[in-house]
Amino acid sequence: MNRPLSLVLALPLLLGAPLGPSQATEVPPEAAAVGSELPYPPTQSPQPDQIVHVPTGLGMSFDDMMEMVSGARLVFVGESHDSFQAHQVQLQIIRDLERRFPGRVAIGMEMFRQPQQETLDRWSQGRLTELEFLQATRWQKSWSVDFGNYKAILDFARDRHIDLIALNPPMDLQDQVRRHGLDSLPDEVRSQLPEIGEPDPYEHAVMQAIYGAHLPTEGAFEAFFRVQLLWEESMAERVVDYLGSARGQGKVMVVLAGAGHVEYGFGVPKKVLRRLPLPYTIIAPTEIEVPPEKQMPGVELPAIPLLPSDFVWWIRYEDLAADTVRLGVGIDDSQGTLAVQSVAGGSPAESAGLRVGDEITSFAGHAVADVTTLVYWVGQQEKGTSAIVTIRRAGTPLDLRVEFRP
C-alpha cells in the first residue's frame, strides 16, 4: 500500500540534515495495490472506518475489536504523523479503554523526549495552559508536526489526569550515537544507553529498502539505523519501566508511535517483549489513498513473512495543513530574536510587506520571543481575519497588517 511519509518526517531530526532535493514525488507505476501485503487482501476497495482482523481477514465492528484489544496490557497504535484521521483513531481507542478501565490507562508518546517528562506530568495534572505546554516542550523545535493533530488526545489526557509518558531518548544522547555509533561511545555516554539487542534482520531490510536510497550521503543509512535502534530500545525501556513501577501497576498502556516503529512487531513491540513478556496488540490506522506528494517514491519492500498488525483500521487521509492559517515566513531564532529568513511568494507575510531581515516582536498584541509562541498565536487566527504584526526593521519599530484571505 502507499504509505504517507510517517518516518520520513523524522529524518531531519534523526540525521541533523534536511531531505535532499533529489527526492522526487512521482509515484511509480508499480506501486503496490492497497492492502496487498495483508494475508487476506481486500476483494473490494476499503471504505473509511472499516476494521479488519488481519490474521483472519474478518471485518470487525469497533466494539468487537475493543473486546479483543481490552485483553492486552499494551496497545500499539501506529500513525502517519501528519494524518489527522490516524490521530482520531488513537483518540477513540484511548477513550474506550478509559471507559472500560477508569483511571487505569496510560499513554506512551514517541513525540516527547525523556527530559520532558516533568512537563507532561504538569500537563496531566492540569497545571499548564496550552501555550505554556507548547513553550515548555519547544513543540516546533522538538516535533514540528501540526499540534492540532495531537490536541484532542492531550486535552483528553489532561481532563482525565491520564499519565503521559515521554518515550524518546534525550537529544544529546541521540546526537552522540548518530556521530560515533553504538560501539565507539565514551564510557560516560555508554552508561546512559538502554540495553540494545541484536538488530532484527527484517527491520534492517525494510529500513534499507525505504531509506537507503533517499538519505543525503553515502553511509548515512547505518547512522540512521543506529538512531532508529536507540529510539526503539529507549521507547521499549520506558514502557517496561513504567509498567513495572508503582505508578504503572495494573495499568493498560497505549503507545502512540510512527507506523514504522510498531507494524510487523519487529520494532518497539519485539524490544518490549524481550524485556517483559506480556500480551500486546497492534492496531494500524491505514490510509486508503495518499496524495502523491506524501508518498515515498520508488520503494520495493522485501518479502516479510510476518503479519503487519493485528487490526487494520481503514481511514481517509486528511492533512490539517490545508486548513491551517500560515504567516508564510521562515524564521532564524539562533540569535535570540525572531529574524525573518525567508518570505514565501504569495503569502500573507509578503502581502503585508514583511522582508528578509525584519525582526518580529509581537503578533496580534502578544509579545513573541520564540517560534513556538509565534506559531501558536498565528494559529489562533482564522481565514478571513487580519492581525497586526509588529516588527523591527533596521532598528525602527513598524506595525504591519497581515490579512489571512479565505
260-297: b (≥16 Cβ within 10 Å) or e: bbbbbbbbbbbbbbebeeeebbbbbbbbbebeeebbbb
| Whether the predicted pLDDT of 323 surpasses 90 | no
Confidence band of 13 (pLDDT split at 50, 70, 90):
very low
- Digit-coded pLDDT (tens) for 360-372: 999 999 999 999 9
| Whether the predicted pLDDT of 29 surpasses 60 | no
Place of cell 509515484: 27
- Digit-coded pLDDT (tens) for 177-198: 888 888 788 888 888 999 999 9
Residue 250's Cβ-count burial label (10 Å; 0-12, 13-18, 19+) is exposed
Q: Which helix (H) or strand (E) holds 132?
A: helix 130-137
Contacts of 236 (CB under 8 A, 6+ apart): 194, 268, 271, 272, 274, 275
| Whether the predicted pLDDT of 26 surpasses 80 | no
Domain boundaries of the chain, sorted by first residue: 8-319, 325-403
Task: Give 338's strand partners.
Answer: 360
Confidence band of 405 (pLDDT split at 50, 70, 90):
confident
Helices then strands, each counted (H, E), the chain = 15, 14
- Digit-coded pLDDT (tens) for 246-302: 999 999 999 999 999 999 999 999 999 999 999 999 999 999 998 887 777 777 888
Fold of 325-403: Pdz3 Domain (2.30.42)
Task: Identify the pLDDT of residue 294.
Answer: 77
- Digit-coded pLDDT (tens) for 66-118: 999 999 999 999 999 999 999 999 999 999 999 999 999 999 999 999 999 99
d(CA 339, CA 66): 49
Task: Identify the pLDDT of residue 295.
Answer: 76
d(CA 296, CA 120): 33
Contacts of 9 (CB under 8 A, 6+ apart): 81, 82, 144, 145
Task: Identify the pLDDT of residue 308.
Answer: 96
Average pLDDT over residues 381-397: 94
CATH of domain 8-319: 3.40.50.11550
Place of cell 509498567: 243
- Digit-coded pLDDT (tens) for 161-176: 999 999 999 999 999 8
Task: Identify the pLDDT of residue 321.
Answer: 73
Contacts of 221 (CB under 8 A, 6+ apart): 207, 208, 211, 212, 215
User: Distance between the two ends of the chain, CA-based, in angstroms?
Assistant: 34
Task: Identify the pLDDT of residue 213.
Answer: 67
